A = this chain, B = another copy of it.
Amino acid sequence: MESTKLQDGSTIVLLQKENQVLPVATEERIVFLPHYDTMVRSGMYEYYASEGQNSLPYALAELVDNSLTATARIKGVRTIEIRMLFDETLGKPAVIVLDNGCGMTSKQLNNWAVYRLSKFTRENSSFASDREAYVRPDPVPRSLNSDISYFGVGGKQAVFYMGETTRMISKPENSPDVHELILSKEEFERKEKNKEDIYSGFIRNRKPGDFSHVTQEDERFLRELIDEEPGKESFTAVVITGIRPEHITFLKQDFDLWTRKLAHVYHYYIHGVNGNDMRPCYENSDNLPNIDIQIFLREKPPRCPRAINLREIDNDMQTLYINATADTFEFKACTKSHSTVEGVLRYHPFLYDRETYPKETDPAQESGVQDQARGKRPIFDCYWNGRLIPYTTVSEFDWCARPKRGAPVAPECYSRFSGVLFTDDRFKVTTNKLTFMDLELQLKNKDTIFTRVVNGQEQRVKIQREFTQWLKTCHEKLDKQVQFLGFNEIITRTDGV
């Protein structure tokens, strides 16, 4: 055995055998870089199918979240495009999410690739250029603050959940150059095999419109994309290839389903605080939101290309609820720690011979209880910073639940309203933005105070009494029951809703 004193005072001990007894305790330097599966497989177990529901729309939503954040300061139209290129005669399948947001400098693009670098840690970062201290946005109605880039994982999880390679293309404002960065599973594997640094790569800086580096035939759709660059002040394009075949099948076959889900997630961003009220009586006067979220899907001809603006979708669940509303009951919840939640209940009356409570468009979700309009469905959809957290719902609160006995209003009325809750980020969500951590628990805490809100004013009255009164009035004024005493035949009336 040799033992040598080094300059800095540490000792190297050379052992003849691995299991030789040590004369003194030694220290051995190790490196424990996270395996690249941290990124490549991060989404796999994050966006898992929730028993029968395909979670792919919610992975896409992560990219839309980023684009909403990036376009937050735009005064004109904020454009977000999701392009599905599934015409294999034009190149390999690709999903592109493109926005006209602020773009990224090469430093920011570098940071994009850093897993778990959130806006909260970025401010403490050792990179001076990076210390953009985080400021919580001012309260806005429905918390529509576009502040939904949060944990530093969403984009990476989403792209690797969908495919195997991602090319980020971005041009920041006031820069003449476009920056490109490719992350791919294959590259990670190659680097590991060749014992190269796993977490290093290259950003290409080039002129807008310059596609000289795109040489592969199966990527020629990229030239088209790059061709659109000149003249754009700033933009970001996320180009995903190596899309998993089952995703392609789903995106093609269930186009209506997943676009409707996205329209549900961003309902209040695309329609504004009052949502998509299409009834003629509705005053469409206040400034409409300037957010265009567009979806394109191109398949091999003769299949027609499809295009839709999420705003055109008129059968997402929020749209259905809103347009079947005869009266609303607004309230606010304030927890012990002073987090507040806005809430709305919407009454869907019984009209003539049927309930107007909207049917669940997704049949998998339908859970029928014959004689109840809402059935077993929970009352509340829950929005966080303005976007839906899809797998968290709140079934009811004490004060709006049907009493076990002695209901002061006809029991079936307790099943005729839907609801929605709006929180800001004082309530925590999981990194995949699929569930809240403890929204229901906090709201059901005995210290949480509920107050009714009328015309923006909080009413200092017991919420349960207010609610019961409201429900009673709704029932008396809005439910229109027709009793057929001497039944002869069914005739079709045209005066319903």
Tell me, rounded to whole Å, the shortest Cβ–Cβ distance linking A401 to chain B.
14
Q: List which A225-283 residues lie within 8 A (CB) of chain B.
A: none
What are the interface flags for A420-456 relative to B under an 8 Å C-beta threshold, 1 for contact and 0 otherwise? Answer: 0000000010110001011011000000000000000
Contact A35 B205 (CB under 8 A): no
| A473 is an interface residue with CB less than 8 A from chain B | no
| A116 is an interface residue with CB less than 8 A from chain B | yes
Which of A158-166, A173-181, A459-467, A489-497 sits within the interface? A173-181
Note all chain B residues with C-beta closer than 8 A to A438: 48-49, 51-52
Q: List which A120-154 residues lie within 8 A (CB) of chain B.
A: 121, 124, 126, 151-152
Which of A56-64, A85-93, A191-199, A476-484 sits within the interface? A191-199
Complex: chain B residue closest to A438, CB-CB: B49
| A16 is an interface residue with CB less than 8 A from chain B | no
What are the interface flags for A192-229 relative to B under an 8 Å C-beta threshold, 1 for contact and 0 otherwise? Answer: 11010101111111110010110000000000000000
| A29 is an interface residue with CB less than 8 A from chain B | yes
Contact B35 A116 (CB under 8 A): yes
Given contacts A27-B202, A34-B38, A35-B115, contact A21 B176 (CB under 8 A): yes
A33 to B20 Cα, complex, angstroms: 36
Contact A205 B28 (CB under 8 A): yes
Complex: chain B residue closest to A432, CB-CB: B45
Tell me, rounded to whole Å, the shortest Cβ–Cβ distance linking A202 to chain B.
4
Contact B34 A116 (CB under 8 A): yes
| A113 is an interface residue with CB less than 8 A from chain B | yes
* Neighbour of A48 across the interface among B200, B202, B207, B430, CB < 8 A: B430
* Neighbour of A206 across the interface among B22, B38, B114, B152, CB < 8 A: B22
Tell me, rounded to whole Å, the shortest Cβ–Cβ distance linking A382 to chain B.
12
| A31 is an interface residue with CB less than 8 A from chain B | yes
Contact A32 B206 (CB under 8 A): no
Given contacts A34-B34, A116-B34, contact A206 B25 (CB under 8 A): yes
Tell me, rounded to whole Å, the shortest Cβ–Cβ distance linking A39 to chain B.
7
Contact A115 B29 (CB under 8 A): no
| A41 is an interface residue with CB less than 8 A from chain B | yes
| A337 is an interface residue with CB less than 8 A from chain B | no
What are the interface flags for A369-382 relative to B under an 8 Å C-beta threshold, 1 for contact and 0 otherwise? Answer: 00000000000000
A175 to B18 Cα, complex, angstroms: 8
| A6 is an interface residue with CB less than 8 A from chain B | no
| A3 is an interface residue with CB less than 8 A from chain B | no
A20 to B207 Cα, complex, angstroms: 11
Contact A33 B114 (CB under 8 A): yes
Contact B431 A181 (CB under 8 A): no
Contact B207 A22 (CB under 8 A): yes
Tell me, rounded to whole Å, the shortest Cβ–Cβ distance linking A28 to chain B.
5
| A37 is an interface residue with CB less than 8 A from chain B | yes
Tell me, rounded to whole Å, the shortest Cβ–Cβ distance linking A158 to chain B.
16
Task: Pick the most buried of A34, A126, A193: most chain B CB atoms within 10 A of its CB.
Answer: A34
Complex: chain B residue closest to A431, CB-CB: B45
| A118 is an interface residue with CB less than 8 A from chain B | yes
| A117 is an interface residue with CB less than 8 A from chain B | yes
A432 to B176 Cα, complex, angstroms: 45
Contact A32 B110 (CB under 8 A): yes
| A106 is an interface residue with CB less than 8 A from chain B | yes
A35 to B106 Cα, complex, angstroms: 18
Given contacts A431-B45, A438-B49, contact A32 B205 (CB under 8 A): no
* Neighbour of A34 across the interface among B30, B193, B199, B205, CB < 8 A: B199
Contact A193 B51 (CB under 8 A): no
Complex: chain B residue closest to A52, CB-CB: B441
A33 to B22 Cα, complex, angstroms: 35
* Neighbour of A110 across the interface among B30, B177, B440, CB < 8 A: B30
| A287 is an interface residue with CB less than 8 A from chain B | no
| A285 is an interface residue with CB less than 8 A from chain B | no
Complex: chain B residue closest to A176, CB-CB: B21
| A19 is an interface residue with CB less than 8 A from chain B | yes
Complex: chain B residue closest to A180, CB-CB: B25
Contact A114 B202 (CB under 8 A): no
Tell me, rounded to whole Å, the shortest Cβ–Cβ distance linking A44 to chain B.
9
Contact A27 B440 (CB under 8 A): no
Tell me, rounded to whole Å, the shortest Cβ–Cβ distance linking A475 to chain B.
27
Note all chain B residues with C-beta closer than 8 A to A202: 27-30
| A488 is an interface residue with CB less than 8 A from chain B | no
Would you give 9 A-B contacts (Cβ < 8 Å), ordered by A?
Answer: A20-B176, A25-B205, A26-B206, A30-B181, A30-B202, A32-B111, A45-B437, A48-B435, A51-B440
